Amino acid sequence: MHKIIKKIIMLGLCLQLLPISLSAEEQDADWDNAFDDSPVVPEIVYPKWFKNSFLELPDDLEEAIAAGKKGIIVYFGQKHCPYCQALIDKDFGQKDIEAYTRKNFDVISIDIWGSKEITTPDGQVMTEREYALRENANFTPSLIYYNAQGEKALMLRGYYPPYKFRAAMEYVERGYYKEEQFSQYMKRANPPPKFEMTDMNNEDFFMSPPFALDRSRFKAQEPLLVFFEQKNCHACDVLHSEPLEFSDTRKLLSYFEVVQLDINSDMPVLTPDGQHLTAKKWAEQLNLFYTPTLIAFDENGHEIIRVDSVAHVYRLKSILEFVVYKIYDIYPDFMSWRFERLFAGKKLPPLEREPSAKQSIK
């Protein structure tokens, strides 16, 4: 089965070389082909239509509403993040997405390692990095959609292909967030591109049922990693075709108990916290809206970290290391550890408190 999937993906890559016109759905299916998640060089350049903000977000929100928009989007990024580049090229690079965004929202960019002073929509004053930490923006790009009242309507952590991104935009702009969770909305939104496969990808490291995952009564010997997937899932096929074949990744996976669940299945599961649920009910309880989603639990059944967005070789490897080496016992969150790795313990630049151009005008 695994070899068949690889052949299908390679066939898809070859077909892209043919001089044919692709439909919108077929173009969406191309988002992850040959994706490289190594650092981007040179630094990422944001679209010119992003707002040139003084980082006084209540003022930005007020100006957006006065201009007839629905709110603001706060974009958390990094200078060399390949997932951020993918968002700019593949999502905001779509003319319809750009037009829809500019009509309904102002976008303000935040550097998750930045030391500039920012006033958040709820009136708190802190640095960019403190704001990113507060909002758990572990995976860049992260986007927070704020409504006209300055309330958080939705947060996306990580990169999502265009069909998901369009759906998220409509979810906020049309006010669906007031009535239902994003996971419920996504069930009736446009389906993702699919390969014509009728089963899920199998791996030799997946446990076989019955799935007795309870760790609430007795401590397990190894951490648990749960793959939530579904049939006919293009992104799932891509995960199994390259990132999971990386030798370092497979070595790290050997330190886990690994389970694969179909989010639409009635397969009985005894969850890590001791609940008797079906896979479908557990996915709903966890508010999952993207497949594949990977969730890691410690030996006592507590969730450590989840990946519910695109994750290729380097990001997936870092996440597994964070769990296997129990780095979460040393650092309070994934982002703090990444800062240590990136900057080797160096301190951030001092807080920038010089008068802004806006203040000097006054």
Give the CATH number, domain containing residue 136.
3.40.30.10
Contact indicator for 153, 86 with CB cutoff of 8 Å: no
**Domain limits for position 220:** 211-329
Same domain, 226 and 273: yes
Least confident of 29-43, 202-216, 251-265: 29-43
Lowest mean pLDDT segment, chosen from 52-66, 216-230, 236-250, 265-279: 236-250
Domain for residue 337, yes or no?
Answer: no
What does pTM read for this prediction? 0.77
Are residue 173 and residue 228 in the same domain, yes or no? no
Give the per-residue pLDDT at 138. 85
Is 266 within a domain? Answer: yes
pLDDT tier at 7 (50, 70, 90 boundaries)? very low
For residue 175, what are its two tokens? 């006010």
* Residues 216 and 181 occupy one common structural domain: no
User: pLDDT tens, 162-217?
Assistant: 888 999 999 999 999 999 999 888 877 655 444 444 578 999 999 999 999 999 99
pLDDT in tens, 329-352: 998 889 888 877 776 655 555 545
Same domain, 277 and 219: yes
β-pairing verdict for 152-157 and 142-146: antiparallel
What's the average model confidence in pLDDT over 311-329? 93
Whether residue 27 lies inside any domain: the answer is no
Q: Which residue, of 157, 188, 219, is where some domain finishes?
A: 188
In a domain, residue 232? The reply is yes
Question: What value does the CA radius of gyration of the chain take, rounded to a whole number of Å?
Answer: 21
- The closest of 191, 181, 207 to 267, measured between CA atoms, is 207
Structural domains counted in the chain: 2
Asked whether residue 153 falls in the same domain as residue 269, the answer is no
pLDDT for the residue numbered 207? 95
Residue 180 DSSP symbol:
S
